[in-house]
Chain A
Amino acid sequence: MDNDSNDGASGIGDLHQLDASNQHKAKLATVLNDNGALLSREKLVTAREDTAHMRENAAGLREEAAQLREGTATSREQEIRAAETIQSASDDQMIKLQQANAHLVVATIEAHKLAEQIEATKVQLDHLAHHDVLTGLPNRTLLQDRLSQAIEAACRQGRQLAVMYMDLDQFKHINDSLGHAVGDKLLQSVAQRLMDCARHSDTISRQGGDEFMALLPYIENAQGAALCARKMLAALALPHRIDQHELHISVSIGISIYPDDGRNAETQIKNADTAMYHAKESGRNNYKFFKQDMNDRAVQRQSIEVSLRRALERQEFVLHYQPKINLKSSAIIGVEALIRWQHPEQGLLLPEQFISIAEDCGLILPIGRWVLREACFHARSWQQAGLPPIIVAANISALEFRNKDFLNNILEVLEETGLEPRYLELELTESILMQDAGSTDSMLHALADLGIKLAIDDFGTGYSSLSYLRKFPINTLKIDQSFVNNMCSNPDDAAIVSAVINMGKSLKLCVIAEGIESSEQAAFLLVQHCDEGQGNYFGSPMEAGALATLLQVSVTLIPN
């Protein structure tokens, strides 16, 4: 408003003012423009700075973003690594678990196997404790247990039962001659045959060695046991084929009956054992029932066995000699050595009273060696004394003949005593010769090659194979005295004696008859062309000194 009141007076001034103003304005404008430009420049600078800041910020952000991306990548990598680590650890764990499972399975299966083996071993041990290893039969322990139970049952029910004690006859000979392997197989064969004879309710057991027992818990009477015994004897009578051998074996059986022969297992067994010995003494291969008086004999037998063991050391045996006579010339051509036992309490005992016991307990071997040595020694002494040389004969048991040292023993004795082999004769029974003919043949030839004479003793009482008789290097057949005893009264015995003499002649063997008791017998034999004789008719067995005297007086024996 002030500017309007001063319009006229101040026109030029106004112009000036205007001009000045314009100039001022222009200046101002210039200034302003300059200021604006400055400001603009400043703004520009500021903007540029801002831009630069922003760029810096953006760069910073980009760096952060890059860092973040790196972080993410790292973290992903870490995650992957972690996952891989976990997976790897898991796989390891799985493998470990699998291995652990495998070990557990294997260990458990092995434990099962072990437990099974232990169980099987326990069963085996239990079986072994109660059974015989060789035959598989119940053993002594199991039999005693069953017997005790059977006795209790029989007692309650008022029944009888039988116990059978069985011992194989001459088994030792087979064992000694053919070896334990053959012996064992024979025992197995015997065990099988005994089993075949038994009923399901019976027990067959092996007591040890060649001894068996049978328990028959259900018998009507004693005859039931006898029937079973006869079956067993018949079953064993058939030959046993063992390897290349055909073996014959028999058995002696003793039977005790409950309640008559004992009230407990121990007594029953003992009495059956006693009866078995009685069966042996009665010729073997049979059975005997127990009788009370057998016990007394068993006691005596036991006493003899104990004394026998000392008899050799105490020099209680003596040899007696029975002459052998040439029936035509009556000349003494030899003697048979016969053992006697000068028992300190029972006096002079004959061989029948102790030889079977000596065989059973094995003493027959040292006794046999003693007989052989003593006989050869005497024969040599008689020769050295200038007496006419005669043949001395010794009996040989199967056990001796089958003993592996038999031939060596004979050689030693002949060497020790200086007796020529041709003055020694060995008497062997048919049963010895026919058992295992193969080994017999070679032994006989070995003896014959030495010059030793061989005779078959008790001929006619055993079983001889005529082909072996022809093959064996036998010198003499000795007719058993059982035929000679009755030949003058019994035509059958006479026929046998005659047949044996004729057969002997045909085979070019010397024939001698033993047990000649009378002139009638001697005459009969002479008519039959028997070569030699032996018996009390010509001379009883006598001591060595008496025989030496007899030989000194005359070599011919004139019957009294």
Chain B
Amino acid sequence: METNHLQRHNIIKNRIAMNPDEDVDSALKLWEQMATEIISIVGESGFNSLYSRSIFLTQSTFPWVGARSKSQITEQRFAELKMDFEEQTPAQAREANCLLLITFTDILASLIGEQLTTTILNSAWGNNASGKTSKEFKNE
């Protein structure tokens, strides 16, 4: 379980590392892709609940994340997150985004399990960043 947990974290770190230009739009695309997948399974309200909780937990490390408002509309929610990131240095934004994604998927994994969470991430983001990981899952 611990190994799976670290592998998922690595998937996230790899995906973020694939954006060397520190492009905020690319960072948010990860969220949008993941949101589409997850909303299809747990609905808007389920996603909102997970997202709000992740924001709350991330704020203990990055108080500025999600501080401006608590919009429940997906489009506005990510627009606000984008503004949050744009107000920080790229390194800070990247670090915060990484933590937010890890926190979000940690919660999701605690609800539906590591394997399904990773499958969803692969569906959302494609297998490029996690090809190796997927094989490892399969061998389990």
Mark A residues whose CB is within 8 Å of B: 98-99, 101-106, 108-110, 112-113
Contacts and interface: CB of A to CB of B under 8 A. Distances in A.
A95 to B, nearest CB: 9
A108 B41 CA distance: 15
Contact of A101 (B42, B52, B53): B42
A103 B46 CA distance: 7
Contacts of A103: 45-46
A105 B41 CA distance: 10
B43 A109 contact: no
Contacts, number: 40
Contacts of A112: 53, 107
Contacts of B50: 105, 109
B107 to A, nearest CB: 7
A99 B45 CA distance: 9
A102 B46 contact: yes
Contacts of B40: 98
Contacts of A108: 111
A109 B107 contact: yes
Given A109-B53, A113-B53, A98 B42 contact: yes
A106 B45 contact: yes
The 6 closest A-B pairs by CB, nearest first: A102-B43, A105-B46, A102-B46, A101-B42, A106-B49, A109-B49
Contacts of A113: 53
Nearest to A105: B46
B84 interface: no
B44 interface: yes
A105 B111 contact: yes
Contacts of B44: 102
Interface in B30-85: 40-47, 49-50, 52-53
B107 A101 contact: no
Nearest to A94: B40
B83 to A, nearest CB: 25
25 contacts: A98-B41, A98-B42, A98-B43, A101-B42, A101-B43, A102-B42, A102-B43, A102-B45, A102-B46, A103-B46, A104-B111, A105-B45, A105-B46, A105-B47, A105-B49, A106-B45, A106-B46, A106-B49, A108-B111, A109-B49, A109-B52, A109-B53, A109-B107, A112-B53, A113-B53
A391 B44 CA distance: 87
A108 B112 CA distance: 11
A101 B41 contact: yes
A104 B50 CA distance: 11
A109 B47 CA distance: 11
A434 B101 CA distance: 63
Nearest to B111: A108
Contacts of A106: 45-46, 49
A469 B44 CA distance: 75
Contacts of B53: 109, 112-113
